Amino acid sequence: MRQVYVNGDYLPETEARVSVFDRGFLFADAVYEVTLVLEGKLVDFAGHMRRLRRSLGELGMAFALTDADLLEIHRELIRRNDIEEGLVYLQVTRGAADRDFLFPAEETPNTVVLFTQKKSLLDSPLAERGQHIVTVEDLRWRRCDIKTVQLLYPSMAKMEAKSRGADDAWLVKDGYVTEGSSNNAYIITPDGTVVTRDLSTDILHGITRQAVLQCAEDLQLRIEERPFTVEEAENAVEAFSTSASGLVNPVVMINGHEVGRGKPGPIAARLRQIYIERSRASAV
């Protein structure tokens, strides 16, 4: 049975409790981060903490724990649950208070929850095969740069993809791909350029995205951060997505159109390899 962290206590998962008045439950008034674990160590931890602080700041949510506190909690959960490969999930809410659209008093204690998931991420059959993607309209709220727990629409998009026989959905706004349902989206043009949406409130500022773009730059690949159309994606020579859980995940079909030769391409494969190597070397 997993040990989880709830508000300062390590508990068996069956004993973990959060108030029914918690604002994360009532209003999705909460932010989260998911950090990759490789060989028992945390990948891109500092980047996840920077994004956590940014999300909290954008929502005006006070938070007392330091990055050092959170690192200790992450490591303790990895130790207690014997995680060699998988994920640590962190969620911070504005706390529990009587239901009111107005925020509670600033001194209201946060609710802080962390738990682990054992998951095989390096040996991925999906990455070997390549993802089949469909596109759906992007109907999310317009602050997608804040990593909140408002994930109902992405969940619906994933379910639509599943109902259409696909692995995942890419979201489209005004004819242009914003990102995947839970990942950043990329194409590679016939001249070898890596294209991904530029940072704005339309997409999540992915930690894995940042690391993979650095890998691409080090390989001296041309990079364009700009919107791209669904038609461009369908006619790309390669496509892929990035996320903490998917790493670099090739895309081989979009809306029934084969991408390139319909197989994972060499550039995505090379970026995945380099990202894994660097993640192992820099994990804490």
- CA-to-CA distance for 46 and 27, rounded, in angstroms? 28
The DSSP-derived string for 46-92 is HHHHHHHHHHHHHTT------HHHHHHHHHHHHHHHT-SEEEEEEEE
CA distances from 84 to 37, 67, 271, 281 (A): 7, 22, 23, 15
The string of DSSP letters for 85-124 reads EEEEEEEEE--B-SS-SS---TTSPPEEEEEEEE---SS-
Longest dimension (CA), the chain: 57
Give the active site residue among 41, 147, 158, 173: 147
Comparing C-alpha atoms, which of 48, 67, 42, 57 is closest to residue 209? Answer: 48
118 is catalytic: no
How is residue 97 written in tokens? Answer: 């208070």
Q: Pairing state of beta strands 223-225 and 194-196?
A: parallel
The H or E element spanning position 268 is helix 266-282
Q: Where in the sequence numbering do the catalytic residues fall? A: 147
